[in-house]
Amino acid sequence: MKILVLNGPNLNMLGIREPSIYGRQDYSALVDFVKNAAQELSCEVEVRQSNHEGVLVDWIQEAYGKFDGIVINPAAYTHTSVAILDALKAAGLPTVEVHLSDIMQREEFRHISYAGMACKTTFKGLGFEGYSKALEYLMLNR
């Protein structure tokens, strides 16, 4: 099973500010964590990050026929992007949404997730662990 892991804007800044919300570890630690989790689950992963909505849309479209599933943390685009929602629907791959923080316990504008409407489930508020849970979910529900 080959899974595309996508991370949205500012996640490359992890560990630099707001450690009380996102933790102290940086983005490269997140990539290492996801790769280790994939190895333990015997699945293949490709991990990408972009600050640009259109790039994320392109990657989702291109995943069709190349990957068996998507794990996505769309970051701030979660709450704004109908384009990412439409791309996920168009690609039609099993997709799981992840958020490091619990978006439902934060500001009201973070309570809506457009991307989540095309996802099988969401793991939120579990930090890095949410990504391993998402990979596991895709492996068990393929």
Which positions lie near ligand CA2, rule CB under 6 A? 10-11, 13-14, 16-18, 22, 73, 75-76, 78, 99-101, 103, 110
Tell me which residue of 20, 49, 50, 22 sits closest to 34, measured CA to CA. 49
Is residue 99 among the annotated active site residues? yes
Nearest CB to ligand CA2, comparing residues 64 and 109? 109
Q: Give residues with Cβ within 8 angstroms of 62, minimum separation 6.
A: none
CB of 53 to ligand CA2, least distance (A): 13
Residues constituting the chain: 142
Q: Which position's Cβ is nearest ligand CA2?
A: 101
Catalytic residue among 52, 64, 77, 99: 99
Q: Give residues with Cβ within 8 angstroms of 12, minimum separation 6.
A: 27, 49, 51
CB of 111 to ligand CA2, least distance (A): 10
